[in-house]
């Protein structure tokens, strides 16, 4: 997929400009138009991410809780910076049993603790720190499903840890398979479930080794993955994600025929860009959701969270050793990360429009900018003991717990509050800037 921020037709050698007032006026008008449009294309040109189109008074003027709600409706909570938070973290690896071993950074010897002591500060308002009691009251009698890869599971485990200050869930899983877990909070009749589907569509492992020793997968890009699509109709909230598995070698199938692949190294099979399979997978996943007769829930797309390998790829000595967040002017979304992000936005927009016809809601849980700025939040070598033989020796994909991924729960709670607060669709769009304005990235 090629991204075209703008297309200009340059003046050729056969064109001449006459120095007349009309031409000067036209040039002046064009210059003003250019200065107006360029900021809409800032990721491609090196501008800070996600300019905020609405203004509100500074956070120091916030008064009552009602005042906060009023101001927050005029603020994009996903555009901001990380600021120090000495009160964090709100749980530890000794108080929460839900932390996956590979994200238990403190257990495995990470000595610095500053990466846990930051909070997300939107540009134009305050984002409240996650309140577990408030969250559980909002979801009382409801259910939430996480569909996707291990970063999605990482998110659910962070949420369980944050909620542990109020209550721990009980395991009500239908299967011993750890990839398909269900947890219930008995005091609130709230259920959370995770469905493993790293490609979102039907897939199978064709070769456990493959060209890069990470497996070779057949992806059936136009077929539903029924392991989750047949299970979600009962859920009130659905959070889907996919990303890093698409970097692996894959063979793409459509209509039961091979249409190409990503780095499969097979004769007579066309090598296609990763975004091809990524786009088709999201399109099929969204089509599955919109085709379910009895599904009435809200679908959240959790956007791509970039990895932070430096000085090499994951299998070539790359690592993530920084100990502080970036500022927005110190990095930018670019290359394949930008391509995958824009692909998500485009497919989300299509699904959102289709969903409206059935009265379904689609929401963008846009974690991309916030996580782009957190190279310090990954396990690196602290997800296992030094002597262990693991595939991902330096993990710069997942997130330490506690850590910056806890902020995803801050985002989620704020979005749920808007859903249940009697706000109309226009006020929701204003606060969370649904994909309408972000599509201007193209």
By annotation, the residues acting in catalysis are 150, 395, 398
Q: DSSP string of 193-248?
A: EEEE-TTSEEEEEEESSTTTTS-EEEEEEEEE-HHHHTT-TT-SEEEE---GGGGS
Give me the residues paired with residue 194 across strands.
146
**In angstroms, rounded to a whole number, what is the distance separating the alpha carbons of residues 438 and 341?**
10
Separation between Cα atoms, residue 409 and residue 156, nearest integer Å = 9
Cis peptide before 135 (omega within 30 of 0): no
Please state, in angstroms and rounded to a whole number, the distance separating the CA atoms of residues 304 and 151: 10
CA distance linking residue 132 with residue 185, whole number of Å? 12
Alpha-carbon distance of 105 to 384, in angstroms, equals 8
Output the CA–CA distances (angstroms, integers) from residue 136 to 159, 163, 249, 257, 365, in the order listed: 11, 8, 41, 47, 19
- Residue 192 near residue 235 (C-beta atoms within 8 A): no
Contact 377, 400 (CB under 8 A): yes
Reported in sequence order, the residue ranges of 342-383 that DSSP labels E, i.e. its strands, are: 361-365
């Amino acid at each position: 997929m090629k991204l075209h921020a703008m297309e200009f037709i340059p003046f050729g050698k056969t064109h001449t400009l006459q120095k007349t007032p009309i031409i000067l006026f036209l040039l002046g008008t064009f210059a003003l138009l250019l200065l107006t449009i360029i900021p809409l294309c800032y990721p491609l040109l090196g501008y800070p991410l996600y300019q905020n189109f609405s203004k509100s008074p500074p956070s120091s003027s916030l008064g009552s809780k009602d005042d906060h709600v009023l101001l927050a409706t005029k603020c994009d909570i996903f555009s901001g910076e990380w600021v120090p938070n000495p009160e964090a973290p709100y749980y530890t690896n000794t108080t929460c049993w839900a932390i996956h071993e590979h994200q238990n950074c403190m257990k495995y010897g990470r000595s610095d603790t500053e990466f846990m002591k930051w909070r997300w500060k939107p540009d134009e308002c305050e984002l409240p720190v996650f309140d577990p009691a408030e969250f559980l009251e909002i979801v009382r009698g409801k259910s939430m499903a996480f569909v996707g890869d291990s970063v999605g599971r990482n998110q659910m485990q962070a949420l369980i840890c944050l909620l542990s200050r109020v209550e721990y869930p009980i395991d009500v899983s239908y299967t011993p398979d750890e990839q398909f877990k269900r947890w219930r909070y008995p005091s609130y009749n709230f259920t959370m479930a995770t469905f493993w589907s790293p490609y979102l569509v039907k897939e199978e492992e064709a070769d456990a080794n493959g060209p890069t020793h990470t497996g070779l997968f057949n992806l059936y890009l136009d077929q539903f993955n029924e392991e989750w699509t047949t299970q979600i109709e009962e859920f009130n909230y659905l959070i889907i994600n996919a990303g890093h598995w698409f970097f692996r070698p894959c063979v793409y199938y459509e209509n039961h025929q091979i249409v190409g692949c990503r780095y499969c190294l097979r004769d007579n099979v066309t090598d296609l860009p990763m975004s091809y399979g990524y786009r088709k997978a999201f399109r099929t996943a969204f089509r599955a959701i919109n085709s379910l007769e009895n599904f009435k829930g809200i679908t959240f797309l959790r956007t791509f969270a970039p990895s932070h390998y430096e000085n090499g790829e994951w299998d070539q000595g790359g690592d993530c050793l920084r100990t502080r967040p970036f500022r927005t002017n110190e990095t930018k979304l670019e290359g394949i990360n930008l391509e995958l992000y824009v692909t998500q936005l485009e497919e989300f927009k299509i699904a959102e429009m289709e969903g409206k016809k059935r009265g379904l809601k689609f929401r963008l849980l846009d974690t991309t900018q916030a996580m782009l700025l957190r190279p310090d939040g990954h396990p690196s070598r602290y997800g296992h003991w030094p002597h262990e033989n693991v595939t991902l020796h330096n993990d710069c994909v997942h997130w330490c717990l506690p850590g910056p991924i806890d902020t995803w729960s801050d985002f989620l709670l704020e979005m749920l509050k808007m859903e249940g607060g009697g706000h109309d669709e226009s006020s929701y769009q204003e606060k969370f800037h649904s994909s309408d304005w972000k599509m201007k990235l193209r």
